[in-house]
Each structure stands twice: as structure tokens, then as C-alpha cells.
Structure 1
Amino acid sequence: MRESDPGTERKCLEILRILGESREPMGAKHLSERMAEQGFILSDRAVQYYLHHLDEVGFTKKIGNRGRVLTKLGMAESESALVGDRIGFVIAKLERLAFRSTFNPDTCTGDVAYNLSFVRNDDLDRVRQSFDEVISSKLGFFNTYAESENDPRIPKDHTGIITVCSITMDGIFQHHGIPVRMAYGGCLNHTGGTPARFLHLIGYRGTTLDPLQLFISAGMPSIGEYMQTKNGVCLANIRNIPQGAVQSAEEIMASMRKNGFHLPAAVGSGILGIPHEPYQSSIIIYSGMNLVGRAYESGIRIKTEIGAGTLPIARILSG
């Protein structure tokens, strides 16, 4: 890919990859949806811009009004592109947001990292219902969310929903001198309302995709079933901290609970099927992506940018 801007090259390579996996031509709208699943939030117009560039360099061609397909040159370029370019991108983005988070759990002030979901206005009431159900079941990370219509990233006829990203907790730990490492995203099975064991784990440092979005798109969680029967699969993240820091971490989490955070699901070493690491304890946190997962289970089309930025906690509390 002969592009001087690494960001543009990354997006173009992702478009080539998606087109290469499709048996039919794809248009900008469908490509935009697929790009969002991989963490690239682009408007249809932005995708059109990249498609025109790919047409010019001979990697794609337009098939009438049906969309684009790869040319032979585009296939060769896609196959030669190194997937290693995207390994670690997800966790690097989240760790940057953790550092920028300034939330104080004692005063409930400061900035938190957030996720931004895009919902069609026609689906907004159903999404609110899904989100509220998950929050009532204490399967989310935080007990409320906010809505936005003014963010330039939000498409026309859509509403943005802002939820607190759990990477905020990593920032709090870091500011209190606790080393923390986001280790896995996983599908946590429950029996009788109690966490039983993880059925699937994906390490954040060895993936090109966000693990939780991957699980949602694959239909692996059964959040609605859990809420009805207390048996089911929910999404959770696993962080590792030194065993000697567990007491300090517990005190911080107690302060967070007083301010509306739902945590932890469990704390321990080698628990719930998690690989044991010497001198490390795991903190399991229910992810705010359970809200999105429940909406997805209900048949609602929803895009989410995980780690969309940071903003004052007061903005979310104000709705």
C-alpha cells in the first residue's frame, strides 16, 4: 500500500480485507458497518473517499450500482499486507485512554474513558429498554449512560449513547500506584446467578480485533437468558495486578461502588478457568458492552466505538 499516512493505509487495508472476504460487491454503507465492527468508525462519505483512492491505484473496481470488488492487483495487495500491523492496536488505544482518565472515586469528579454507540432514532426506545434492563441486573460497568446528538461522529437520523468504558478503572489504579494489565476479554458462564467459569478468552495483546465486539457479533453471549433465568453467558474483562496490591484495589473498588460502579464480579488467582500467573491476582469486571450485547440480541442494529475518548463524569451523570 503506497500511502504516506499510516492511518489512511490502515483503513485502506481494512477495506481491502473486507472486500476480499465478500463474495458480492459491497457499497460504502455496508463497508462502513463492517469497518465499525473492527473498530474503524467512518461515515459512508469517508468510506467513499477511500474507495475512490483504491480505484485510482487499481486495487478496486466499481460494478455498476452494486458496489466494489477487488481487482487481481487488490487481491495481491491484501494478501501481502501484514496482519501484524494491527496486532496490539486495540490495547494500545485503551491504555492511552487509561492514562488520560482522571476520575477520582472519592469525590466522583474528573474524566472517564467512554464508549460511543450509534443508534437509529427509530430504535432508540428499544435500546434504552435493553440498556436499562442490563443496568438493573448489575451486568454493566456503570449504573447510567448519556445521550448525544451533537457529536460530529454521529450519523444523520441517529443518536449517540455514551457509556463509561471499564478502562477507566485501569487509570484509577495507575494513579494510585497499582500496576495493572488488561489481560483478556471473555465470555463468563453463570449458574444460578453465580459466575461459574469462562467459556472463551481472547488476550488483548495478541489480537487485531476487540474481543468483546467479536463475541457479540458471533452471538456468543446470552445476556437476556441470564436476566430471565440467572443462567447464561455475559461479557467480562480480566485484569491482572500484583497479589500484594489486592487490598488497595479492593478499597478503591469499594469507593467506586458508592458512586454507581458495578464491580468486581470476582477477584482471585487462577479462578473461573483463568490461566494462573505467579504472584498475580485477577480482577474480573462485567463490561459495559453487555448493554450493547443485549441490544444486539434483541435484533437492534448498533455500532459502537470502544474507547471513543474521555469526558467529565458529570456529562454522563447529567444524561
Structure 2
Amino acid sequence: MHAPLKFTNHRIEEYALKVTYRPEDDTGKIIYNLSLIESRDLEFALSIMKEAHKRGITISDRLLVAGPGGQVAGYTVPDGRHAVCTMCSITLDALLLQRGIPASPIGGGIVEVDGRVAQRFTSMILYRDTTLDPLEVLISQEATSILDVMRHGKGNILANIRECHMEAEQLLGTVLDELSAIGFSGILDVGAPNVPLLGVPVSPQYIGVAMVGGTNAMAAVREAGKPVVTRALKGLIDIREMDYLDDY
């Protein structure tokens, strides 16, 4: 008997419950994305990642790099390739849950940026309606212009949105400030109760929280003409296995 289809919102909820990451201690497991690049493109990819982080369109400066034959959570990197693992932005949902703020994931899409300020979602794939990761789909459709955002402040980036109950608004602000202070970046915008955020409606008595996608940097590498295969929401990995961008 075949296993039933599992929609992305359920995958997110399952992973969020398994995250044990404690940013203040730098311990525990996070959700990660895995991208495969050609080994010869590694230095170029790292330079793009550093620039993307400097411009605020990544969520963390943590990464894991594994060469040909290396192992990443049981996956063997093929010959001629390097694996680059980054923190998935859905880790934020898990961190909110740990602090008593349940977050309902809405979807992933493309956000228009102008003057380095997020303007609106121009496309959206709802997590409840797909078994694929929306940002993977949008990367394959070449719908981004992340390099333009990095260099000129105008273009399209990957992002996602979730909603939290308005009763948690004050606590949400406190938690997001705490996470920002310890290096968890990439919050695009936080909405007001019952008000659409970046053009996306929220449920009654809820507020939206939009965040950059964890795959933006590797999507930018792909925009530059380098072969990249990305698998978002790849699984869980111990944060202590990851290095810092400044280590490279």
C-alpha cells in the first residue's frame, strides 16, 4: 500500500515539533536546506552567500559545506559536487512554538523589493495546497531577481509568511527582538491584527509574520548561471555541525 500524500503544511508542523535548537546556547537541531553545486563553483557560491547575508536576505550566517563523498545526515555527496546546507526559515516557526507562540504557516512566494524595502507578495503558493516546497518551485521557474536586490535594492526575492494569534502580539515582538539580537535575521515585516501583510490576508484575530526564504543565497548563485539543485526542508541537523560564513 502506498503512503498517503503529505502536504507541505503538515511537513512543516512535524519538523517544527522536532526542532530542539536553542540559539542562546547554540545547541540542538534545526531544519536545513541542502543545495548541490559543482565543486569548481564553491568559492563563487560562498562569495554570493556572504554578500546576501550582508544585504539582509538570509536568515543566518551558519552553513555546512561537504565535499565529494562527504556525508550530510546520511546523504552522500556525489563526485564533482559540493553540498551547501543552510538554515531553513521554517526554523523560526519552531522557535516561536518553543516560546509559547503557535504559528500557522500560510505559504511561500515572491516578494517585490524596492529601495531595499519589501513591498508586496506578487505570487504565493499555499502550503496546505501543495506537496512540494513552494520556494523550490519558484526557483525552478526562474522567478527571482535576487542579484538585483543585492546590488541595486530592487527586484524579487523568496519569502514566506505565517500567522500568529493577536493575543501573542506583545510576546511575539519580544521574542523576535531577542532572536534578532543573537543573530537570527531575515524578518521582513510583522503585520497588525486582522490586516493583510504585504498583500496576503490573515485570519480574523491573527497577525502575519513575513520572513525571507532560507534559499535566497543559493537562488542568487543559480541566477548567476551556475548549476544549482536545491532541496528545501531537507530535514534536521545539529547546529554544532555547522560553521560560520566568516570561517570561509
Q: Is the 8 A contact 1:188 1:195 kept in 2?
A: yes
Q: Is the 8 A contact 2:163 2:202 kept in 1?
A: no
Task: Tell me the alpha carbon deviations over residues 162-206 of structure 1, each in whole angstroms, 9 at most, x when there is no partner.
Answer: 101111111111122211111010111111111111111110110
1:13-32 correspondence runs (5 A): none
170, 179, 191: which one pairs with 1:256? 179
Q: Is the 8 A contact 2:35 2:228 kept in 1?
A: yes
1:161-176 correspondence runs (5 A): 161-176=84-99
1:159-238 correspondence runs (5 A): 159-238=82-161
- Please give the alpha-carbon distance, in whole angstroms, between the structure 2 residues aligned to 1:182 and 1:111: 20
Task: Tell me the alpha carbon deviations over residues 236-280 of structure 1, each in whole angstroms, 9 at most, x when there is no partner.
Answer: 110110011122122222222222221311000312111132101
Q: SS at 1:145's partner residue? A: strand
Following superposition, the deviation at residue 87 of structure 1 comes to: 5.9
Task: Tell me the alpha carbon deviations over residues 106-163 of structure 1, each in whole angstroms, 9 at most, x when there is no partner.
Answer: 3332221111111111221221122222111110111232212321332122111110
Task: Tell me the alpha carbon deviations over residues 206-249 of structure 1, each in whole angstroms, 9 at most, x when there is no partner.
Answer: 01321111111111111111112211111111011001112212
Q: Is the 8 A contact 2:136 2:231 kept in 1?
A: no
* Greater gyration radius: 1
Whether 1:283 aligns to 2:209 is: yes
130, 135, 139: which one pairs with 2:57? 139
Calculate the aligned-residue CA RMSD, in Å.
Answer: 1.7
Instruction: Give the aligned residue type for 2:45.
Output: V
Which residue in the other structure is 2:238 paired with? 312
- Please give the alpha-carbon distance, in whole angstroms, between the structure 2 residues aligned to 1:282 and 1:137: 23
Q: Is the 8 A contact 1:115 1:165 kept in 2?
A: yes
Following superposition, the deviation at residue 105 of structure 1 comes to: 3.1
Runs of 4+ that moved beyond 4 A: none
Unaligned stretches of 5+ in structure 2? none
- Bigger mean CA offset, 142-151 vs 235-244: 142-151
Q: Which structure has greater helix proportion? A: 1
Whether 1:111 aligns to 2:29 is: yes
Instruction: Give the aligned residue type for 2:210.
Output: I
Whether 1:274 aligns to 2:207 is: no
